[in-house]
Structure 1
Amino acid sequence: MINYKSALVVFVSLLAFGSTQAQTSVYRSHVKDIYNAINKNLKDPKSTLYYETTDPAKNEHPHSYLWPLCAYIQAANEMEVIEPGKKYMLPVENAIAKYYRATPPFPAYQDYVVAEKTTTLYYDDNQWIAIAYMDAYKRNHQKKYLDTTKMIYRFMLGGLDSVGGGGIYWREKDFTTKNTCSNGPGVLVALQLYKATKNKEYLKTAIDIYDWTKKHLQAPEGVYYDNIKLPSMEIAKATYTYNTGTMLQSAAILYTITKDKKYLAEAQRVAKAGKTHFFKNGRLPNEYWFNAVMLRGYVELYKIDKNREWITFFEQDADAIWEKERDANNLVGNKKEKRLIDQGAMIEIYATLEQLRSKK
C-alpha cells in the first residue's frame, strides 16, 4: 500500500509538471510563430527594413515608421531572455540604425527612414528604444546599449523645461503639449541609467519628472490622462493603458531603489485602478502594444508583492487574442491587414508571460 501511494504521488506530480510544461511551451510556441510570420510577411527581403502592415496599399511609406520598431526591439529583447544565446535584437537594431539622424543640437532617431525622408524626432520613440537597450544592457553589459541610451537621454533633456512647471514635450520643436507618453518612459530611462551607473543626477531627474507627471496628469482614480496642452494647461483626458503602465512601473522601481513605502502604496493603487478601468468583460482595449507596455508595470510590481492578480488578466486577454484574433499566417490583429506593431507587442506579451510561468 505504501508503494502504491508513493507511485500515485509520483504519477500525479508528473501530470502536474507536464501540464505546467505544456502551458509554458504554448507561449513559447506563440512567440516563435509570430516571429516567423514577421520575417515572412513584414520584412523587406531587399533591405534591413520592415513594412508597416501586410497591405502595401495601406502603407503610407515604403517602409515602417520607427514606432513599430520600438515595439519589435523590446519583443526581441524578451525573446533573447527566453532563448539565451540567440541574437534576435541585432536585425532590429540594424533597421533602427537607418532612422538615426546626427543633426545638432541632439542626435537621435527620427520617426522614418533617414535615407527616404527627413521627418520629426519624437521623444517617446527614442525613449522606448532606450528602455529596450537598457533591458539588454542589464543582461549582457554590452557598452553600445549604454552609450546609445546616454545619447537618447541627452536628446530627452532637450525637451525638458520649466514651462507648465516641468515635464518633457512630446516631440522636438513642438511646444504645444507635454504628454504622459513622453514623461512616463522618460522616468524609466533615467531610472535605468541610475541603476546602471549609480549617478544620482539620473535619479533626481527621474523623481522630478515622476512628480510632475503625477501632479499634472494623473486622474483622481489613479490612471493617467494623455497630455497637458500649453500654454492653457488644459488636460486631454483620454486614457490609454501604456500611460498608466509606465507610471506604475516607475513607482515600483522607485520603491525598489529608495525603499520608500509611499512608492509601493502608489504602485498598488495605480495597479488596482488600472485593472478596474481597463479590463472590461474579460478583455483589455485592443491596442496590443499599449497593453504590452502596461504589462511591464504590473510585472515590476509583481516582482515585489508576488500578487498573481496582476498577471492573470493579461493571460486571459493574451489567450483570447490567440484564439480569436489570429489569421492563417499566425499574424494577430483585428483588421485584415496586420500591423508590425501588433506583432511586436504580442511577442513581448507572450515572451513575458512565458518568463513568469517559468518562475512559478
Structure 2
Amino acid sequence: MNAAAMAEHLQTTLHMLYWNPDIQIMNQWDDSLTVNRPDENYYYWWQAHAADVLLDGYARNGNVDYLNRLEQLFHGILRSNGGTFRHQYYDDMQWMALAWLRAYDMTGAQMYRESVADLWEDIRGGWNAYMGGGIAWRKNQLDYKNTPANAPAAILAARLFQRFGDEADLAWAQEIYDWNKRMLTDPADGFVWDGINRLGDEKIDRDWQFTYCQGVFIGAGLELYTCTRDSTYLEGACRTVIAVKSRLCDSATGMLPDEGIDDTGLFKGILIRYLLRLVDIYPEFELPAEIIEQNAIMLMEHGLDGIGRVGTDWRKPPEGSIQLSVMLSGVILLEAYASLQTK
C-alpha cells in the first residue's frame, strides 16, 4: 500500500474541509455550521500542529504549495491571536515555537526565526521554584507543573542549541528534562505521568496516562542525546517506548488507544511524531517502527471514511463532524508511515 499517496490524499482532505480562506487558519471542525459555535474556544495550539503537518507534506514531496499555505497560516494565526504569538499557556507557545523553528530550518525565512526567539524568551519566564522547579502550565497557575509544559520546552531548547550553539539553551534543556524525569517519570519502567499539584495538593495525576506525555518525553531525550551523545538519554527514550507498548497499546493488535476529542484528539499524533524521530536516530530499535506500521496499516485499511477523514479510533471510520485535532493526528500518522517506507 502506497503510504505517500494516502498521506497526500489526507492532506488534500484536510485542506478541503478545514482551511478557512477568509481568516487563513484551520477551522476547528469539518462542518462549517459548527465552526463559530459560542461554546467553542479558539484552539491556538492546534494551529501549531497544522503548521507542522504542512511541513510534513513539503518534506515528503517538495511541493511549494505547502510552503505558501504555511506562510498564510503564519499570518492568520498572528492576526487571530491579537498580533502576537505569545499566549497564556506555556505548552501552547512551545508547540508554536517548535513549528516555526522547523519552518525556519526548511525555508530560511527570518520571520520564523524571529518568532521562535520571541516565544522562547516568554517560555523561559514560566520556570519557577514551585514543585522544585519546572515550567508552569499557564501564566495564571504558576504552581501547577506538567509534562506537556516541560518536555516540549526541553525539545525546543535542545534544538535551539543544535541550530545556534548557545550553551545556555543546552543547559535549559538539561535542567528541564532532569526536572521532568525526577518528578513525573515512573522509576519502575520509565512511563511518564501528566502533572503535579493541579489541585494545589502536591499530588501527581498518576491516573492521567496519555500517549502525549510519553511522546514528548521520548522527544526530549532524543534531542538531548543528539546534543550530548550521552547514551542515558537514548536509553531513557527507549525505556519509555517499551512502557508505551506494555501500558497503552492493545496487546493483540498493537493499536494505540482511542483518547477522545478536543485536545486529546492530538495526543496520538504527537507520540507518533517522536516515535519516528527515534527510528531516525536509532533504527536498530525496532519497536517504534512496529507501532507506527501497525497503526498506519489499520488506519488505511479500516479507519478512513469515503473522503479520507479520520476519527478518534483508528480501527474504524469516523461518524459525524470531526475536529481538526483528530484529523491532524491521522495525517501525522500517515506522513510518518510514508517517511518510514522510504527508509
| 1:187-266 alignment, distance < 5 Å | 187-220=154-187, 221-229=189-197, 231-237=200-206, 238-266=208-236
More displaced stretch, 205-214 vs 301-310:
301-310
| Amino acid of the structure 2 residue aligned with 1:236 | D
Contact 1:160 1:169 in 2 (8 A): yes
- Segments of 4+ moved more than 6 angstroms: none
Deviation at 1:305, TM superposition (A): 2.4
Secondary structure of the residue aligned to 1:225 is coil
Aligned with 2:294 (options 294, 297, 316): 316
Counterpart of 1:304, as a letter, is: I
- SS in structure 1 opposite 2:64? coil
Q: Is 1:147 paired with 2:114?
A: yes
Name which of 14, 28, 39 aligns with 1:52: 28
2:6 counterpart of 1:36: no
Residue 75 of structure 1 contacts residue 345 of structure 1 at CA under 8 Å; is this kept in 2? no
Is this contact kept in 2: 1:72–1:345, CA < 8 A? no
Give TM-score, length-normalised by structure 2: 0.86
Partner Cα distance (1:58, 1:143) in 2? 32
SS in 2 for 1:108: coil
Is residue 241–residue 290 contact of structure 1 (8 Å, CA) maintained in 2? yes
Look up the match of 1:301.
Answer: 278
- Distance (Å, rounded) in 2 between the aligned partners of 1:312 and 1:324: 18
Alignment partners' CA distance in 2, 1:305 and 1:72: 27
Letter in 2 for 1:321: L
Structure-2 change in CA distance of 1:144 and 1:297 (3 Å): same
Select the structure of larger CA radius of gyration. 1
1:260-275 correspondence runs (5 A): 260-275=230-245
SS at match of 2:25: coil
Which stretch of the first structure deviates more once superposed, 340-349 or 74-83? Answer: 340-349
SS at match of 1:236: coil
Contact in 1 for aligned 2:49/2:99 (Cα 8 Å): no
Partners of 1:71 and 1:345 within 8 A in 2: no
Aligned-partner Cα distance in 2 for 1:142–1:44:
24
The alpha-carbon deviation at position 257 of structure 1 amounts to: 1.3
Asked if residue 69 in structure 1 is aligned to residue 54 in structure 2, the reply is: no
Does the C-alpha gap of structure 1 residues 246 and 189 become closer, same or farther in structure 2, counting only changes over 3 Å?
same
State the 1:346 CA deviation. 1.9
Aligned-partner SS, 1:286:
coil
CA distance in 2, matches of 1:58, 1:172: 27
Pair 1:325 & 2:303 matched: yes
Distance (Å, rounded) in 1 between the aligned partners of 2:71 and 2:3: 22
1:18 alignment counterpart:
none
Shift of 1:58: 7.5
Distance 1:58 1:176 in 2: 34
Contact in 1 for aligned 2:275/2:292 (Cα 8 Å): no
Cα gap change, 1:101 to 1:204, in 2 (>3 Å): farther
CA contact (8 A) 2:211 2:244 kept: yes
List alignment gaps of at least 5 residues for structure 2. Answer: 260-264, 312-317
1:156 maps to what in 2?
A: 123
After TM superposition, the score normalised by the length of structure 1 is: 0.83
Contact 2:159 2:223 in 1 (8 A): no
1:45 Cα offset (Å): 4.2
* RMSD of Structure 2 on Structure 1 (CA): 2.1
Q: Which residue matches 1:279?
A: 249
Q: Deviations over 1:22-78 (max 9, x none)?
A: x4xx22222222222223222234331332112334764588521321221111111
Give me the whole-angstrom Cα distance separating, in 1, the residues matched to 2:308 and 2:35. Answer: 20
Which amino acid is 1:315 matched to?
A: E
Q: State the shift of 1:349 in Å.
A: 2.0
The more displaced of 194-203 and 262-271 is 262-271
